[in-house]
């Protein structure tokens, strides 16, 4: 979710406080343990640190250098083993500006030239959605690992073409930019939710609220039009497609089902004076099997409560926001045993039981309960880190395979690659499923209709 | 398996045996043609092979495991392993004119621990200088049959060869068993003790903040290497 890292002010303060506390702890020789971290022990000077070693380096090329492309560069810049060796944008000013973030990287105005650079091992595609197909297919054909931003495409045909090419490129890693899939909090919550801790699924609800025009200014009318493609139906799959895909994906992932149908509503209420025709407010109802519905609303007109997801089960509800989660239990539901020891937070008239990785009864009794520290990195960082690790690991395994078995069977290679312990990440199938759901949700909202999902939309 | 019906008495003269063999070759066709194919290649199927490294430390014993062994084994012209027979055919002074090269990628070997195996993998890879020397390699220099062999059981051999780890090559010798499986597959199993320091590897002594833990110098490599007859 592109804006999840926009923490509210209070969180930002907490973050700074915790960050400086962490630095102090490190200096004082304390050990800090977290689900998403290495065992890092800073002891007296000269002592060796025991930590997860940096992954094998992978040379990155980044294609598409608008705001999001520069966010990608910032994440890669602080990541060990992820040198950015090439940059590409057809707009010279964007290219020059981004080049400052990645000193030493070669710059290209044509993505084909970047793909021809043998030094580039992996590419991140952050260009407008409609251009993904051409670039992703060329990148895979050029033997590059591909991280393609979500949505994969703005048509089902294009999304399928990308998915098909990714499936066939068995030696390469393809990751769809559905960042939450790689977030440690999601990794922690997923087995919890799927284990049935909430009882029977009843319904899910999510919102994405922001007071933001989505409009951009630029030095020339042509550039402005290009930057504002999201505002026009002809070049945009709207709020649900461009932004909502992330929450639609994560809810489907938690419910572990594919929706049967989606009904949508939409209106253009506030941002009416710049010639746009994309709605600024949408609602969608996804129907899942067994009578479970997912209610989702998005607006650019009001920021109340911002973004979160709620899952209602027969025993408890679970709320996730800013990558923190709380459980709200029904009085009649059986205790799992650990709840009294967990962190509790009051929300108006409800008490939420904090779901925190690494929390323990001992922590609680000793008064050292694990607090809700913001995760150290942004969701984008974790997703790119997973891509880096998986791509480096896969490249090594492919090389090893052909060294061991020079005329080895590709089917055996595929089976062997399944033995790798990969970091959680959205693959081509996840990318295709989410893209289809988002495209059709937008279509349902714009036409104010119910659309029944057809099986063949999701299959290659 | 058709050879099973022919029992060659010890006192049978060599020329008679050869005559029978020649008759078999021509009458039974390629199935029973001894020594026709002696080259075997690693099976690239997942989990066909396994390699386990067992070690000790001041805290607890540890184990690492890989599921890949690559390379080839050529028993040499005329050598034929048939477990139904008392001895392998085609040996000279119990030696096979065999050639073999074994490759094990260092990064395919992983710690068998539940918590943060990446840390131990990283320590091992660093200690083994895996960035420079990505594979463990073994080149066979001699393969000697160790009898007696019980019909139907795997054959015992003594191997000698050169083992290269972390850029250091040492002469080593260890026993192996060779088991003839179905469909032209064989499994070579064995166990080789070695010292890390003999390969310039400093036994890792990670500091986990709870006191120093030091790995023992002695480790044992156990392996099961499955190969397929080259068609």
Angle at CA B227, nearest 5°, toward B224 and B229?
Answer: 155
- Is the pLDDT score of A5 beyond 50? no
Quick one: tokens of A320? 């996730």
CA-nearest residue to B43 within chain A is A405
* Within a domain: A423: no
- Verify that B48 and B28 share a domain, yes or no: no
Q: Report the residue from B71, B110, B122 with minimal CB separation from A53.
A: B122
Q: Chain B: nearest CA to A171, how far in angstroms?
A: 16
pLDDT for B28 equals 39
- B134-164, pLDDT tens digit by residue? 999 999 999 999 988 888 899 999 999 999 9
Provide the β-strand partners of residue B144. Answer: B95, B158
pLDDT band at B116 (very low <50, low <70, confident <90, very high): confident
Output the pTM of the full model.
0.83
Contacts of B135 in chain A (CB under 8 A): 400, 403
- Verify that B92 and B188 share a domain, yes or no: yes
CA-nearest residue to B46 within chain A is A416
Candidates A46, A50, A399: best to mutate against B (most CBs of B within 10 A) is A50
Q: Which of A432-446, B2-16, B60-74 is predicted with the least confidence, judged by mean pLDDT?
A: B2-16
Question: What's the maximum distance between 2 C-alpha atoms anywhere in chain A?
Answer: 67
pLDDT band at B15 (very low <50, low <70, confident <90, very high): low
Cα–Cα distances in Å, from A235 out to A23, A269, B74? 46, 20, 63
pLDDT for A39 equals 34
Q: What percent of chain A has pLDDT over 70?
A: 85
- Cis before A151? omega within 30: yes
Q: Which of A58-62, A235-239, B82-86 is predicted with the least confidence, judged by mean pLDDT?
A: B82-86
Q: Chain B: nearest CA to A389, how far in angstroms?
A: 12
Q: Higher confidence at residue A271 or residue A367?
A: A271
pLDDT for B173 equals 96
Residues, chain A: 460
Q: Higher confidence at residue A176 or residue B126?
A: A176
* Within a domain: A330: yes
HSE-up of residue A53 (Cα within 13 Å, Cβ side): 20
Contacts of A409 in chain B (CB under 8 A): 44
* Within a domain: A384: no
Mean pLDDT within A164-183: 97
Cα–Cα distances in Å, from A10 out to A13, A14, A15, A168, A374? 5, 6, 9, 47, 11
CA-nearest residue to A415 within chain B is B46
Mean pLDDT within A273-287: 97
How big is the A-B interface in CB pairs under 8 Å? Answer: 78
- Mean of the per-residue pLDDT values of chain A: 87
Q: What's the rounded Cα separation, in Å, for the pair B166 and A175? A: 34
How many other C-beta atoms can be found within 10 angstroms of the C-beta atom of residue A345?
12
- Verify that B142 and B67 share a domain, yes or no: yes
Question: What sign has the CA pseudo-torsion A43, A48, A53, A58?
Answer: positive
- Verify that B42 and B5 share a domain, yes or no: no
Rg (CA), chain A: 23
Supply the CATH number for residue B180's domain: 2.40.128.110
pLDDT for B213 equals 79
Pair A139, A115: CB distance under 8 Å: yes
Q: What's the rounded Cα separation, in Å, for the pair A175 and A182? A: 10
pLDDT for A21 equals 37
- Is the pLDDT score of A345 beyond 50? yes
Beta strands in A5-54 (DSSP E): 31-32, 40-41
- Verify that B48 and B127 share a domain, yes or no: yes
- Verify that B27 and B136 share a domain, yes or no: no
Domain count, chain A: 1
- B57-98, pLDDT tens digit by residue? 888 889 999 989 999 999 998 898 888 888 888 899 999 999
- Verify that B191 and B143 share a domain, yes or no: yes
pLDDT for B60 equals 84
Question: Which residues form the domain of B95?
Answer: 37-229
- Verify that B122 and B29 share a domain, yes or no: no
Mean pLDDT within B88-110: 92
Q: At what angle do helices A428-447 and A245-255 cross, to 10 degrees?
A: 120
Contacts of B42 in chain A (CB under 8 A): 404-405
pLDDT band at B123 (very low <50, low <70, confident <90, very high): confident
Pair A443, A233: CB distance under 8 Å: no
Burial (0-12, 13-18, 19+ Cβ within 10 Å), A118: exposed
3-state SS class at A68: helix
Q: What percent of chain A has pLDDT over 90?
A: 72
Quick one: tokens of A171? 């030696």
- Phi/psi at B50 (nearest 5 deg)? -150, 150
- Verify that B18 and B44 share a domain, yes or no: no
* Torsional class of A68: left (φ above 0), alpha (ψ -120 to 50), beta (otherwise): alpha
Write down the ipTM of this complex: 0.76
Angle at CA A440, nearest 5°, toward A436 and A442?
Answer: 120
Q: At what angle do helices A156-168 and A428-447 cross, to 10 degrees?
A: 180
| Residue located via tokens 């010798």 | B173
Mean pLDDT within A432-459: 98
pLDDT for B13 equals 55
Q: What's the rounded Cα separation, in Å, for the pair B75 and B35? A: 9
- Verify that B45 and B24 share a domain, yes or no: no
- Verify that B47 and B95 share a domain, yes or no: yes
pLDDT for B51 equals 95
* Within a domain: A189: yes
pLDDT for B102 equals 95
* Within a domain: A61: no
Q: Higher confidence at residue B209 or residue A194?
A: A194
Mean pLDDT within B46-55: 91
**DSSP letter at A255?**
H
CB contact under 8 A, A52 and B118: yes
Q: What's the rounded Cα separation, in Å, for the pair A288 and A256? A: 10
- Verify that B179 and B101 share a domain, yes or no: yes
Q: What's the rounded Cα separation, in Å, for the pair A47 and A6? A: 38
CB contact under 8 A, A52 and B119: yes
Q: Which of A24-38, A82-96, B116-130 is predicted with the least confidence, judged by mean pLDDT?
A: A24-38
Q: Which of A386-400, A425-439, B72-86 is predicted with the least confidence, judged by mean pLDDT?
A: B72-86
Question: Which residues form the domain of A331?
Answer: 182-365
pLDDT band at A370 (very low <50, low <70, confident <90, very high): low
Pair A248, A434: CB distance under 8 Å: yes
Q: What's the rounded Cα separation, in Å, for the pair B90 and B75? A: 10
Domain count, chain B: 2
Q: Report the residue from A41, A404, A412 with minimal CB separation from B208.
A: A41
Contacts of B208 in chain A (CB under 8 A): 39, 41, 50
Supply the CATH number for residue A308's domain: 3.30.360.10
- A282-297, pLDDT tens digit by residue? 999 999 999 999 999 9
């Amino acid at each position: 979710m592109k804006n999840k890292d926009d923490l509210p002010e209070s969180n930002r303060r907490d973050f700074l406080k915790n960050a400086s506390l962490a630095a102090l702890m490190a200096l004082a020789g304390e050990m800090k343990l977290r689900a998403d971290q290495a065992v890092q022990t800073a002891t007296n000077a000269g002592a060796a640190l025991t930590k997860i070693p940096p992954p094998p380096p992978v040379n990155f090329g980044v294609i598409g250098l608008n705001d999001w492309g520069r966010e990608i560069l910032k994440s890669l810049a602080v990541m060990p083993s992820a040198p950015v060796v090439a940059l590409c944008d057809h707009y010279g000013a964007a290219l020059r500006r981004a080049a400052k973030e990645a000193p030493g990287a070669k710059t290209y105005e044509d993505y084909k030239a970047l793909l021809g650079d043998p030094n580039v091992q992996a590419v991140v595609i952050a260009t407008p959605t409609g251009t993904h197909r051409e670039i992703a297919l060329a990148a895979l054909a050029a033997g590059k690992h591909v991280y393609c931003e979500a949505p994969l495409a703005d048509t089902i045909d294009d999304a399928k073409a990308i998915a098909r090419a990714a499936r066939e490129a068995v030696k390469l890693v393809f990751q769809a930019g559905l960042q939450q899939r790689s977030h440690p909090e999601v990794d922690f919550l997923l087995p919890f939710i799927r284990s049935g801790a909430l009882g029977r699924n009843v319904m899910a609800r999510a919102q994405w609220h922001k007071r933001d025009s989505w409009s951009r200014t630029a030095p020339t009318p042509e550039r402005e039009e290009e930057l504002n493609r999201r505002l026009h139906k002809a070049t945009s799959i709207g709020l649900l497609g461009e932004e909502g895909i992330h929450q639609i994906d994560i809810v489907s992932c938690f419910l572990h089902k594919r929706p049967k149908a989606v009904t949508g509503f939409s209106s253009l209420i506030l941002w009416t004076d710049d010639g746009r025709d994309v709605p600024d407010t949408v609602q969608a109802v996804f129907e899942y099997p067994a009578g479970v519905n997912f209610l989702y609303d998005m607006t650019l007109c009001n920021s109340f409560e911002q973004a979160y997801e709620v899952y209602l089960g027969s025993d408890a509800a679970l709320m996730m926001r800013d990558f923190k989660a709380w459980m709200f239990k029904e009085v009649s539901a059986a205790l799992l045993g650990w709840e009294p020891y967990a962190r509790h937070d009051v929300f108006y008239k409800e008490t939420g039981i904090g779901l925190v990785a690494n929390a323990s009864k001992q922590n609680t009794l000793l008064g050292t309960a694990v607090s809700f520290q913001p995760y150290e990195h942004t969701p984008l960082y974790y997703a790119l880190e997973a891509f880096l690790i998986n791509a480096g690991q896969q490249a090594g395994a492919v090389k090893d395979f052909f060294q061991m078995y020079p005329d080895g069977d590709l089917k055996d290679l595929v089976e062997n690659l399944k033995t790798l312990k990969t970091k959680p990440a959205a693959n081509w199938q996840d990318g295709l499923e989410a893209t289809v759901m988002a495209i059709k949700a937008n279509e349902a909202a714009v036409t104010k209709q119910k659309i029944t999902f057809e099986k063949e939309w999701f299959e290659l | 398996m058709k050879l099973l019906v022919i029992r060659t008495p010890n006192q049978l003269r060599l020329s008679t045996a050869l005559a029978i063999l020649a008759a078999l070759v021509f009458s039974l066709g390629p199935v029973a043609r001894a020594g026709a194919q002696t080259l075997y290649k690693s099976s690239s199927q997942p989990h066909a092979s396994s390699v386990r490294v067992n070690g000790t430390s001041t805290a607890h014993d540890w184990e690492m495991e890989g599921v890949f062994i690559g390379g080839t084994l050529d028993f040499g012209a005329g050598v034929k392993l048939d477990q139904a027979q008392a001895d392998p055919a085609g040996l000279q002074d119990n030696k096979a004119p065999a050639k073999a090269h074994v490759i094990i990628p260092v990064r395919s070997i992983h710690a068998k621990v539940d918590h943060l195996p990446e840390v131990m993998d990283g320590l091992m890879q660093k200690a083994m200088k895996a960035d420079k020397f990505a594979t463990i390699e073994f080149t066979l220099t001699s393969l000697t049959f160790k009898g007696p062999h019980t019909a139907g059981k795997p054959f015992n051999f003594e191997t000698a060869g050169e083992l290269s780890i972390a850029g250091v090559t040492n002469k080593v010798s260890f026993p192996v068993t060779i088991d003839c499986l179905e469909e032209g597959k064989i499994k070579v199993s064995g166990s080789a003790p070695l010292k890390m320091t003999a390969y310039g590897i400093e036994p890792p002594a990670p500091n986990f903040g709870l006191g120093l833990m030091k790995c023992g110098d002695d480790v044992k490599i156990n392996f099961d290497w499955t190969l397929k007859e080259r068609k």
